[in-house]
Amino acid sequence: MPRVLLYSHDTYGLGHIRRTRAIANALVAAYSDLSVLIISGSPLAGAFNLAPGIDFVHVPGVEKGEGGGYASANLRMELNQVTALREALIRQTAESFQPDVFIADKEPGGFRGELLPTLKVLKAMGTHRVIGIRDVLDDPEAIRSEWAETGALRALTEFYDDILVYGPEDFYRPLDSIPMPAELRSRIVYTGYLRRSVPHGPPSIRYPKSAKGPYILVTTGGGADGYGLIDWVLSAYEAVPNIPLPAVIAFGPFLSTTQRRAFLERIDKLPNVDAVNFDNKLERAMSRASAVVGMGGYNTFCEILSFDKPALIVPRSRPRLEQTIRAQRAEELGLVRFLPDPLEMGGKPDPAIMASALSALCRQSPPSAATIPGLLDGLPRIARHLAPTLVSSVRIREPAISGA
């Protein structure tokens, strides 16, 4: 039976594991005899529904500090020791699982190069190796410099057979600034965005009464960097009580307890604002919402397009310009409205500006008003692209031999 191994380094937030999960679910739906194994460092890898045929291996987590540096998330070990442990676990998993296809998310060499030994093993094994890139990475010059410095560029050219860009070519070309052989560049496939759907089964949490009628869903994804947006939205409802639609704020799992407590104290005083804790089936709330306010991370953007919701995007520009580039381009194409965060430019958020933007969502057109061919074709196109390998994957697998 064919096998696919997916790697998601997950050093920050929920974006990587949620994108990897969406791809895994789509692949087992397309190929009934497929086994998919996900390698992830996310502490919430097991919090999301996985279809039959999918399992995951959790490697020790690492976390990014406020200064941009990394450290062990849980183990009382030095970062280089944790990285070495992760590297060994990833390699051993690949040797035992013997995948027909390997898909890495975003980082060609993995976190601090931890994938390189595994990539050598997979190349010798004859595994088809794919790097999956989101629609926007960062400022082109910044990503070219970073990849050259970290060795990601060398790993990309030496070890990968194909490059999948999870977005439409007409939206953005994230690898134009990356030097690579012409033969490899010819293997870039723009898939379109990854369509999302409402998960099966009952809701994972109870939503407030305000969610039974029209409402604005406010989401900051994982929530670790969402304080500014939530604070600005609350200040708008505090200053302008007659905003037409109530708000339901979805706290991400990484929002600090202190910030969550302070927000709840303010929300208790507002009759038209409610909040919910982490919801691993947030697609359900978004499908029922009248409009969405978010920061413009990749997964939130896919959900906005999938459920065709008028949206206001307030992106962060640090430590990467990813969200800002995506929001600006999406507004140019008529998909969303882009509202710069004054804090990102050294200013102070104006509650009246946010209140006006929230009120305007009632009149804003949904993304479907802008016709973009292949906008949400990502998942079926990934499945079709891998078909030649997965359908003809009958090959002899040697049992793994363990050392004494």
pLDDT for 399 equals 45
pLDDT for 253 equals 82
User: Which H/E stretch holds residue 386?
Assistant: helix 378-391
Using the Cα atoms of residue 385, residue 335, residue 338 and residue 230 in order, give the sign of their dihedral. Answer: negative
pLDDT for 43 equals 76
Residue written as token pair 């994230």: 174
pLDDT for 18 equals 86
pLDDT for 200 equals 80
pLDDT for 267 equals 96
pLDDT for 12 equals 60
Edge-to-edge strand list for the sheet holding 128-134: 54-58, 35-40, 3-8, 101-105, 128-134, 162-166, 188-190
CATH number of 209-369: 3.40.50.2000
Residue 175, phi then psi, degrees to nearest 5: -110, 10
d(CA 371, CA 27): 27
pLDDT for 401 equals 39
pLDDT for 403 equals 36
Q: What letter represents residue 389's amino acid?
A: T
- Series of mean pLDDT values for 10-residue runs along the chain (404 residues): 91 75 95 95 74 93 77 92 96 97 94 95 96 94 90 92 96 92 91 92 80 93 84 97 95 88 96 89 91 94 97 88 95 96 79 97 95 93 96 57 35
CA separation, residue 101 to residues 27, 48, 188, 211, 398 (Å): 11, 23, 16, 42, 16
Comma-separated ranges of CATH 3.40.50.2000 domains in the chain = 3-195+376-391, 209-369
pLDDT for 67 equals 64
pLDDT for 396 equals 47
Domain 3-195+376-391: CATH architecture, name and number where available: 3-Layer(aba) Sandwich (3.40)
pLDDT for 404 equals 29
pLDDT for 394 equals 52
- Chain-centroid distance of CA 157 in Å reads 24
